Structure 1
Amino acid sequence: MPRPVEPADPGVPFDAPPFDDAPPFDDVPPDEWAPPEDDGWMPPPEPYGGSGAPPAAAPPGPGAPPVRDFTGTAPVDVLREVYGYDAFRGDQAAIIDQVTGGGDAVVLMPTGGGKSVCYQVPALVRPGTGLVVSPLIALMHDQVDALVANGVRAAYLNSTQDAAERRRVEQAYVSGGLDLLYVAPERLNTDSARRLLGQGRLSVIAIDEAHCVSQWGHDFRPDYLGLGDLAERFPDVPRIALTATATPATHREISERLQLPGARHFVSSFDRPNIQYRIEAKSDPRRQLTAFIRSQPEGAAGIVYALSRKSVEQTAEYLSAQGIDALPYHAGLPAETRAANQSRFLREDGVVMVATIAFGMGIDKPDVRFVAHIDLPKSVEGYYQETGRAGRDGQPAVAWMAYGLGDVVQQRRMIDQSPGDRTYKMRLGQHLDAMLALCETVGCRRQNLLGYFGEASTPCGNCDTCIEAPDTWDGLVPAQKLLSTIVRLQRERNQAFGAGHLIDILRGASTDRIRQQGHDALATYGLGADLSDQDWRSVIRQLLARGILVARGEYGTLALGESAGGVLRGETPVPLRRDTIGRTSAPRVRRAAAPDGVAAGDVPLFEALRAWRAGVARELGVPAYIVFGDATLRALAQRRPSSLADLDGVPGIGAKKREAYGDAVLEVVAEQAA
C-alpha cells in the first residue's frame, strides 16, 4: 500500500549555517509513515511547549545536574549511571562491545529484549552523535522522551517540528551538542540530509526495524532500500541493524540490502515466555472477546486488532456498552481523535485500544497485559509483531485470538484479488498457510511459532494446547461427503457454492434455494445431518487450512484442492481437532489486579508509588513508564529506601532520575511507613 502523501516540510536547509534565515527546502518527503490503514500521525500533547520535541540538550526538570560526557566511559558504567541497571542482559554486552569497537552488527532480538540499549550505549561511549533511523514519528517521540528523562542529549528531526525547532536541532548536531539524533528514512535519503550529516561527527549509525527493508516482508518500506548507501558515505562509522521480526530469509535480505557483509550477527531467542498464546474457534467474536477481557485483571491495558475500520468502531462501541473502557483507532478518524485516544491509552491504566494494524508499531507501552485478534492476521510475522506488544515489561501477558471459517475464505479471496504476479500471490499464500498451521495445530503453539522463525524448542506447557490438549477425531468420512457434494454440483450441474449452502445440503435443510435448485435430489442431500452447522464450519475451515479445499472468486465458492483426490479415495487420513468454544469464559466483572511479583505486605506501598507516579506523569504530560517502570516500583516497595544512598542499585534509577525524583520517592515511602 502506498505511503500517504503530504506536502513536504517547510523547513530549513540541512546545510544552512546555524540560525541563518535560510529559505525553505523542498527535497524532504513527509515522514509521518505508518503501517497500512493509517495516513499520518499526530503527536500527543507535549510537555515541551508544543515544539514537537524536547529541547535538543535540555536536561529534564528544574535543578537537574549538568549532562555528563560519557565518551570513553566503560559501557557498564553508562548502563548503571544512565539507565540504573547493574548488568547487561543476554547478548547486549557482546553487541555493545562489537559496535563500540567499530564493528558492524545485525541484531535479531524479541520485543522487550532491550534492543535500544545496544545502540544507545555505543553512541554515548564513542565520540560524536549516534544517528538512529526510525520508521515512525511515534517511536521517535517515545524514545527521545525516555532518553531526555535519563539525562541524555537526544533529539529528532521530523515534520511535527516548526522551522525554528529544526534549526535548533541542526545547530546542536553540528556543534556536537547531541548524543543521539533520530531521523526517518525518507528524510535521510535526501541531498540536504547528507550535507547536514557531513557537517557533524557520527559515532554510530543504527537502523531500527530493519525488517522494513525486506520486499517480501509485511512492513516493507522502499526508503529503507536507500540505507545501504550509508556504508559508502560513512565507511568508518559502525552500523547496527536491529529487528524483532525476521525469518532466516529476511535475516539474509537485511544483510544484503543494507550492505552489511562483514557484520557480526546476533540472533537471540524469539521466545517470549511471559506471553501465553490462546486461539479459539470463532462463534460470536464480540461476546467471546468480552468474556476474555473480563477474565483479565481489572485495570489491565490491552490492544484489540480488527481487520476493518467498521469492525474497529463497532467493536469499540460494543465493548464500551459492556462497561469496558475501549477506544477506537484507525486512519479514518480525525487526527485529533487518534492523538487523544493514543494519549489516553499511553497515560491511563485499564484502557483497551481497538485498532487496525495502523496502531502499535512505535508504541512503547511496557505494561500492555493482552493483545487480542478478532480477525486472522495475514502472516505469522505480523501476528508475532502484534502479539509482541504485550508484556514488554516481562510480566505475564496473554495473546488471544478468535478464528473462524470466514477468516480463511476472506483471506484467500483477498490474495486472489490482490495486484501482483503469480510469484507475489504465491508468497502471500505461503504466509497465510503458515498462519493457518499455527491456528490449527494440535501441538504446542509456541513450538510452532518459534519453528517458523527457524528456532527449535520443546513444548512450553503454558499455551492453550499445552494446558488443555485439544480432542481430535477422524474426519475422513465427513470430508468425503463434502468433497463428493462439491464434485457432483460441478460435474452434473456446472455449479459452485460457498460453505453456507453446502452445509445446508449436507444437513438436509429445506430452504427455498435448495428447493429451487433441486439440490434436495442430490445423492449427498442430508448425509451430514449428524453434524451441527458449527461442526461443519469447523470441518471446512480445517480442510481449507490444509489445502484439501480452496476458496475461489469474489463469493468464496469452494472447490477441490490438490490433495482432495487422496481424501476421496480414502488414501489420505483426515484427523481434525474438535473445537472448544468459549474456553476463556469468565466472571461477569473484571477481577481486581493482584500486582505480579509484589508481596502482599508490599502492595499498599506499591499502589502508593503508582499513584505518585501517575501524578508526576500527568504534570509532565508523559506516559507513566517514562517516569518509572513497574519493575522499579516493585523494587522500591520491597526495599523501602530511607535515604538517597539507598536508591543506588534500584533497577531503573540512574543519576538523573535519582536527582529528579529521589526526595519525592522517599517521602512516599516514609508516609506509608508512618
Structure 2
Amino acid sequence: MSPARSALDLLQTVFGYEAFRGRQGEIVEHVANGGDALVLMPTGGGKSLCYQIPALLRQGCAVVVSPLIALMQDQVEGLHQLGIEAAFLNSTLSLEEAREVERKFLSGQLKLLYVAPERLLTPRCLGLLESAPVALFAIDEAHCVSQWGHDFRPEYIGLSTLHERFPEVPRIALTATADAATRREIVQRLALEDAAEFVSSFDRPNIRYAIVEKDNARRQLLEFIEREHEGDTGIVYCLSRKRVEETAAFLNEHGITALPYHAGLDAETRARNQTRFLREDGIVMAATIAFGMGIDKPDVRFVAHIDLPKSLEGYYQETGRAGRDGLPSNAWLAYGLNDVMQLKDMIESGQAPEAQKQIERQKLNAMLGLAETTQCRRQVILGYFGEQSAPCGNCDNCIKPPTTWDATDAARKALSCTFRTGQRFGAGHIIDVLLGRETEKVKQHFHDRVTTFGIGRELPEAAWRSVFRQLLAGGYLATDSEGYGTLHLTDAARPLLRGELELHLRGLPEKRKRDKSERDKKRSAASLDIAPADEPLWQRLRQKRRELADAQSVPAYLIFSDATLKAMLDARPATLSDMAHISGVGAQKLDRYGLAFLDVLHGAD
C-alpha cells in the first residue's frame, strides 16, 4: 500500500465503507501515528479495522496476537478477499508452510501476521520479529489477561514483554467486555499506563434482550426458535456438556439442524462442527462457553442461554455474537431457581481463595440483578459497564413492562419455613412443607408437624419457586458452602422477618397460547424485514454467495455479509459504478464478484 493513501481512502476503496463509525477514525489516526491504545468496543463494533488500517498505513508488518486458530484463519481469509497480504503462524501449518510464512515476513511481503500468544513468546518467534520491521502489535481479546475475568488465559500475562523488547513499536489492545476492574488489570499487566483509552458505547441497539422464567427450557427454546428464527443461524449456550448433547439432539428431533460443541468432544469433531457452523446457513450450535470467542460470523441471528451465565461480562460477550452485521437479532435467556442454587453452590464449594470467591459472588449477583430487574434490561447492562442510557424500547421489559406484587407475607413464610425445618434443606423440600405435601421426606423429618406446614397453600408451586429464586438473588437466603444446595437465612432476612421491611417481587408471567398470526407477527419483528415479493430474489442472492464461497472453501459471509446483500436487494444497483456505493463492497470484491451479483439482481442468472 502507498503511504500517501489516507485512512479514509483505504476504508472506502479497500473495505467498502463510506465513513468510520464512532471513534474508529480517532483510533486509526492515533495508532497510525505511533501511539499506544486500549480500545473497548462492543462485538460487531469494528475493532479489527482499528488495527488493520494502521497496518496498511505504517511501514512493516502488523503482528496480531489472537487466541484462537479459527479466528486467525477467518481473519486472514477475509483479508485475502480484500486483496491484502496476510498470514498466520499456528499449529495447523506444516514445518515447510511455517517457514514459507516466515520467509514472506522477512521479505516484507506481509502486511498482517496473526500469531497465538504462546507461540509469539517463544525465542524463535521473538527473534523472527526482531529481524524485520514490525508496524504495530495488536492484542486481540485483551480481557484474557485478567486473572479473575471470565476468560482468563495465562499465556496472555507474558505479553508485557512486547513493550520491553520493542519499545518503539505501537501496541493496541482490544476487547469487547471489560468492567472497570478488568480494564485496570489490562493496563497494568500489558504495561499500557501511557496508552490512550478509547471507550466506545457498549450499546448494541440491534439486539433485543429477553429473559424468561424456566418452564421446560428445551420446549421454551424450541418455541422461541420456531416463532422468531426459523431457518436462522444461532448459538445456544448450556452450562454442562451433557446439556449440550441433549439440547442438540432435541433440536434435531424437531427438524432444526443443530450441532454440539464442548471441550469433551475430540478435536476433529469440534473442528468439523465449527467449520459447518461458519460455512453453512441455518446451523444452530449448542455449546458450552468453550465455543465462541473470536467467532466472526456476522449473520448469527440469535444467541440463547438455557442456563444462567456466571457473570454479566460473560453474558454480554456471548450475546454480542448475535447480529454483528447490525441487523435485528435476539438475545434470549431462560433461567430458574435451580440455576441460582447451582451457580452459588459452585462458588461456595470451589477451591478458589476467599478473595476470588467474593469477586465471583459479586459478578453472579450482577447477573441475577439483570435477570430479576423490572427496569430496562439495556439500562442495567450498560450501567454495569459505567454507561448511562435511557430506556431502550427494545427489550422484553420495555415492550411489556413486568408486574410486581407485595410479596412481604409470602417472603416471611418462606424464610420462616426455612428456619423451622432446620436450615439444612433445599428449596424443593421447603416448598413441599409450605404446600402441606405429606411426602416421605416431609414425614421422615417430622416436618408435617412444624408450624409452617401448609401455610403456603394460597400460592402455586411455580410462584413459590419464583419467591425462593428472588430471595436468593436478593441475598435474603444463601446456599451452604459444601455444595449440597441447602438454604439458610442471612442477616438481611432479619428485618424482613421482624416486620421492619416490605418486599415487592417481580410477578409471574402470564401463560399465553400463541396462534399462527402472533407467530408471524413476532417473527417479522426480529427478521430482516424482507418483503414477501422480494424473498425469491433474496434467496437467489444467498445462493450465488454460497456457490462462490463453496468454490473457494470459505465461509459465505467472507464473500458478502447479509447486511451487504440486503443493501443490494434494497438499492438494486444497475451498474458496477452503482454497486461500488453499496456498503461492504470494496474495489477488490467489486472486481471479483460485482458482475455475478448484478446478473442475479437483474435476472441474467
Give the TM-score range, shorter chain: over 0.9
Match of 2:269 in 1: 337
- The corresponding residue for 1:497 is 425
State the alpha-carbon separation in 1 of the partners of residues 97 and 231 from structure 2.
38
* Distance in 2 of aligned mates of 1:76 and 1:598: 32
Report the more deviating stretch, 642-651 or 142-151: 642-651
- Work out whether 1:266 is the aligned partner of 2:198: yes
> Which letter maps to 1:218?
H
**8 Å contact from structure 1 (residues 208, 242) kept in 2:** yes
In 2, the alpha carbon distance for the partners of 1:386 and 1:429 equals 20
Out of 509, 517, 520, the position equivalent to 1:580 is 509
Mark the CA change 1:371 to 1:588 in structure 2 (over 3 Å): closer, same or farther. Answer: farther
1:201 aligned partner: 133
Pairwise CA distance, 1:348: 1.9
Aligned letter for 2:90?
N
Q: What's the CA shift for 1:583?
A: 6.6
Counterpart in 1 of 2:483? 554
Report 1:13-162 matches (<5 A).
69-162=1-94
Alpha-carbon distance in 1 for matches of 2:170, 2:231 = 44
Residue type of the partner of 2:504? P
Cα distance change on mapping 1:576 and 1:639 into 2, 3 Å: closer
CA distances 1:332-388 after superposition (whole Å, capped 9, x unpaired): 223232222222211222211111111111211111111110101000000000000
Structure 1 Cα separation of the partners of residues 439 and 117 of structure 2: 58
Choose the corresponding residue for 1:529, options 441, 457, 467: 457
Q: Structure 1 pair 586/286, CA: closer, same or farther in 2 (3 Å)? A: farther
2:168 corresponding residue in structure 1: 236
Secondary structure in 1 matching 2:130 = helix
CA distance in 1, matches of 2:235, 2:529: 23
| Pair 1:226 & 2:158 matched | yes
2:373 maps to 441
Hey, what's the Cα distance between the residues in 2 that align with 1:110 and 1:365?
15
Give the superposition deviation at 1:489: 2.9
For residues 371-406 of structure 1, give each alpha carbon's deviation from its aligned partner in whole angstroms, at most 9, with x where no partner exists. 110101000000000000001110111111111000
Letter in structure 1 aligned against 2:441: R
Give the paired residue count: 601
Q: Deviations over 1:632-674 (max 9, x none)?
A: 22222233334333332222121211221122223223326x9
Q: Displacement, 1:298?
A: 2.6
Residues 283, 581 of structure 1: CA spacing in aligned structure 2 closer, same or farther, 3 A cutoff? Answer: farther
- The AA in structure 1 aligned to 2:468 is I
Q: 1:542 aligns with which of 455, 463, 470?
A: 470
**Unmatched 5+ stretches in structure 1:** 1-68
In 1, are the aligned partners of 2:15 and 2:585 still within 8 Å (CA)?
Answer: yes
Summarize deviations over 1:109-161 as a string: whole Å, max 9, x none: 00000000000000001110001011111110111110011100000000011
Q: For 2:342, which of 410, 417, 434 is the aligned residue?
A: 410
Structure 1 window deviating more from structure 2 (306-315 vs 325-334): it is 325-334
Deviation at 1:539, TM superposition (A): 0.4
Structure 1 match to 2:185 = 253
Look up the equivalent residue of 1:388 and give its one-letter code: G
Candidates 562, 569, 573, aligned match of 2:498: 569
Question: Contact 1:283–1:581 (CA<8 Å) still a contact in 2?
Answer: no
TM-aligned CA distance change 1:209 to 1:398, over 3 Å: same
Distance 1:664 1:285, change over 3 A: same
The answer to whether the aligner puts 1:306 opposite 2:238 as a matched pair is: yes
- Corresponding letter in the other structure for 2:460: S
Contact 1:548–1:561 (8 Å) recurs in 2: yes
State the match for 1:463 in structure 2.
Answer: 395
TM-score by length of 1: 0.86
Partners of 1:585 and 1:546 lie apart in 2 by: 33
Alignment check: 8 A CA contact 1:292 1:586 kept:
no
1:189 aligned to which of 114, 121, 129: 121
* Alignment CA distance shift 1:416-1:527 (3 Å): same
Cα–Cα, structure 1 residues 582 and 147, in superposed 2: closer, same or farther, change >3 Å?
A: farther
Residue aligning to 2:214: 282
**2:568, 2:582 within 8 Å by CA — same for their partners in 1?**
yes
Partner of 2:440: 512
The one-letter amino acid of 1:408's match is V
The superposition leaves residues 456-480 of structure 1 with CA deviations (integer Å, 9 ceiling, x where unpaired) of: 1111111111111111111111111
Task: After TM superposition, give the deviation of residue 324 of structure 1 in Å.
Answer: 1.4
For residues 170-189 of structure 1, what are the structure 2 equivalents within 5 Å? 170-189=102-121
1:378 corresponds in structure 2 to 310
Residue 598 (structure 1) shift: 4.6
Q: Secondary structure at the match of 1:77?
A: helix
Q: Percent identity?
A: 56
Pairing partner for 1:166 from 98, 104, 114? 98
Q: Report the equivalent of 2:143.
A: 211
Contact 2:327 2:563 survives alignment (8 Å): no
Assess if the C-alpha contact under 8 Å between 1:549 and 1:558 holds in 2. yes
Q: Aligned to 2:91, what secondary structure does the other structure show?
A: coil
CA distance in 1, matches of 2:515, 2:308: 23
SS at match of 2:467: helix
Give 1:256 deviation, angstroms: 1.7
Contact 2:229 2:302 in 1 (8 A): no
Range with bigger deviation, 331-340 or 147-156: 331-340
Contact 2:326 2:563 in 1 (8 A): no
Q: CA 1:528 to 1:599, structure 2 compared with 1: closer, same or farther past 3 Å?
A: closer
Q: Deviations over 1:66-116 (max 9, x none)?
A: xxx233321111111211112111101110010111111111000000000
SS across alignment from 1:521: coil
Shift in Å, 1:488: 2.4
Which amino acid letter does the alignment assign opposite residue 445 of structure 1? R
Give the Cα–Cα distance (whole angstroms) in 1 for the partners of residues 191 and 223 of structure 2: 49
Query: In structure 2, what is the Cα distance between the partners aligned to 1:133 and 1:586?
Result: 50
Mean CA deviation greater in 80-89 or 397-406: 80-89
1:296 paired with 2:225, answer no
Pair 587,363 (structure 1): closer, same or farther in 2 beyond 3 Å: farther
Choose 356-365 or 631-640, whichever is displaced more: 631-640
Runs of 5+ consecutive residues of structure 2 not aligned to the other structure: none
Q: 2:544 aligns with which of 612, 630, 636?
A: 612
SS in 2 for 1:459: coil
Q: CA deviation at 1:434?
A: 0.5
CA distance in 2, matches of 1:531, 1:222: 50
Shift of 1:203: 0.7
CA contact (8 A) 1:85 1:653 kept: yes
CA contact (8 A) 2:87 2:113 kept: yes
Q: Which whole-Å CA distance do the structure 1 matches of 2:571 and 2:210 have between them?
A: 36
How many angstroms apart in 2 are the aligned matches of 1:537 and 1:464? 21
Residues in 2 aligned to 1:533 and 1:229: alpha-carbon distance in whole angstroms: 58
| C-alpha separation in 2, matches of 1:322 and 1:195 | 55
Structure 2 CA distance for aligned equivalents of residues 347 and 591 of structure 1: 28
SS of corresponding position for 2:602:
helix
Is the 8 Å Cα contact of residues 291 and 585 (structure 1) preserved in structure 2?
A: no
Cα distance 1:79–1:149, how it changes in 2: closer, same or farther (>3 A)? same
